[in-house]
Amino acid sequence: MRIILAGTGRTLYYLCRTFISKGWRVSMINPRAEECRELAQRLKAVVVHGALADPILLEETGALGADAFLAVSSSDADNLVSCQLAALRFGIPRVLALVNDPDNEDVFRRLGVEAFCPTPTIAGLVEQRSALDGITNLVPVAGGAVNITELELPAGAPATEQPLGRLELPEESLVACLVREGRLILPAGTVEPRPGDRLIVVTLPANHGRVLSALLGPER
């Protein structure tokens, strides 16, 4: 597997290190001379200094015959144009762009470039974790349409005072499993959760807050 990374900063360094450890051959293109020197010293990779969307430099990084191209700079415009160049001029089969503005994820797809934006995931994690104690995990799946949340029940939480079947949860939400002292308990309606138990719940963004209130109490 031969991959070309285009961009700047720590992201570029750590991605490169990860791919090298997978045994891939990595080339990089980076417009910052200082970073290029450091990257070349620290990593076993081809490092080319220059603008991301320069066709000659791309050729020097070995764009012809590369398997994948990944653009991770802080400029959405540079990421788009370098990806288009990689795909259209050099025929690289797998091309992926980081987008910094979440709105651009959809724009890039409509322009034919596959894109990912980490901002909403990070923002969601921070928001949920800072708002609620005891919530240790939150993963959006199906493109953010569904949340999977892991939470610990504190003493006095409504969910600890009755069997699961009696809890009034909003429609289209689910307690998927209960973990007690490291053991998995299937959440049948007769199971009575105790303080310290962990629940894995499946919610929609629209009912997430109501589900958490029903389980943990309204002040949450």
Partner 1 sequence: MQDKKGRMNGKYIVIVGCGRLGSYLANTLSQWGASVVIVDLHEESFKLLSPHFGGFRLTGDAVESGVMRQAKLDRADLLVAATHDDNVNLLVAQTALKVFKVPRVLARVYDPRNDDIYQELGIETICPITVAAELFLQAVTEGRLPGEER
Q: Considering the rule CB under 8 A, would residue 57 count as an interface residue with partner 1?
A: no
Q: Which stretch binds partner 1 (CB under 8 A): 49-57, 129-137, 144-152, 154-162?
A: 49-57
Q: Considering the rule CB under 8 A, would residue 32 count as an interface residue with partner 1?
A: no
**Chosen residue from 88, 122, 145, 184 binding partner 1 by CB under 8 A:** 88
Strands (DSSP E) contained in 61-187 are 68-71, 94-98, 114-116, 135-141, 146-152, 174-180, 183-185
Q: Considering the rule CB under 8 A, would residue 53 count as an interface residue with partner 1?
A: yes
Q: Which residues pair with 201 in a beta bridge?
A: 149, 175
Name the one residue in this structure whose structure tokens are 């009696």.
166
Q: Considering the rule CB under 8 A, would residue 115 count as an interface residue with partner 1?
A: no
Instruction: Tell me, residue by residue from 93 to 112, as one string, x for binding to partner 1 by CB under 8 A and - for no binding.
Output: --------x-xx--x--xx-
Which residues between 138 and 197 bind partner 1 (CB under 8 A)?
none
Q: Considering the rule CB under 8 A, would residue 76 count as an interface residue with partner 1?
A: yes
For the CB of residue 88, give the shortest distance to partner 1 in the complex, in Å: 5
Q: Is 62 left (phi over 0), alpha (psi -120 to 50) or beta?
A: left
For the CB of residue 113, give the shortest distance to partner 1 in the complex, in Å: 10
Q: Distance between CA atoms of 8 and 5, rounded to whole angstroms?
A: 9
Q: Distance between CA atoms of 191 and 189, rounded to whole angstroms?
A: 6
